[in-house]
Amino acid sequence: MKVTHFIVIFAIMLSVSGLSGCVQVAAWERGNLAKPQMALEPTPLQSAIQAHVYGSREAAASINSSGGGGGCGCF
């Protein structure tokens, strides 16, 4: 009986904490969320170039390389 009470209370607390994260953002606060530091990938161009160089130098073909590299660093 005690274990089921614990599970029910835990499930309620988990759902309440999950729902508390859903808030409306005011218009003047949206600028803080739009900053480049808040992006998942802050420097997408640099990451794409590094992925291309890494894929070119590896001997295996990846999604970033067109024909796979030779393993020598040649493009």
Residue range 6-36, pLDDT digits in tens: 898 999 988 888 777 777 888 888 887 788 7
Ranges of H-type helices in 20-75: 30-33, 44-57
Give CA–CA dist 62/71, Å, rounded.
Answer: 13
Please report which confidence band the pLDDT of residue 69 belongs to, taking 50, 70 and 90 as the band edges: very low
Query: What are 37-51's pLDDT values in tens digits?
Result: 777 887 888 888 888
pTM here? 0.35
CB 62 within 8 A of CB 55: yes
Cα separation, 73 vs 75, whole angstroms: 7
CA 14 to mean position of chain CA atoms = 23
